[in-house]
Chain A
Amino acid sequence: QTVVTQEPSLTVSPGGTVTLTCASSTGAVTSGYHANWFQQKPGQPPRSLIYSTSNKHSWTPARFSGSLLGGKAALTLSGVQPEDEAEYYCLLYYPGRVFGGGTKLTVL
């Protein structure tokens, strides 16, 4: 059973920078896993931010960026805003798709 692991929680100050990571139990995450990142706020459906490792949608704020870092997929928020406080999920493609457990980001 494939497991995708994220940090359970992170805290960042407004204006700061934070990196969330996404690891696979099968080994290093590569571009072939087409990592996706989603943001979810309470009571709302998830919203896609990043697809295929580093590609942004038209609605994705410029302060969000995706990359591969040390064998993991990574989501970096630069210049964090209070409204970025949310749960963030990564998704990796295997045969099928597997979500990570989510990272609760607190802006404090």
Chain B
Amino acid sequence: DSGVTQTPKHLITATGQRVTLRCSPRSGDLSVYWYQQSLDQGLQFLIQYYNGEERAKGNILERFSAQQFPDLHSELNLSSLELGDSALYFCASSQGSLQETQYFGPGTRLLVL
């Protein structure tokens, strides 16, 4: 158990809908990272937040947005969902913001029908 929690574990929704994925980092970690892993694919970095501020941005679609709250938990919002958005979404956390080991949560499995 990495200490990173993600909810929900599974999510099934329809195209065009909007969902919110939630992540709580390890105690003491200030950075949260979001990744997307499509079927049989590697991980694609989406975005990083550090202490409430956006720190780095990867291949995140405009339909997706994220934020980190004062209690350091983070939410990833996915809107206008498409079939291709079906994937495993990982959250990771680290203590600082630069080049530190990331600890991954168990992931949220999203299925868009």
Are the chains A and B members of one assembly? no
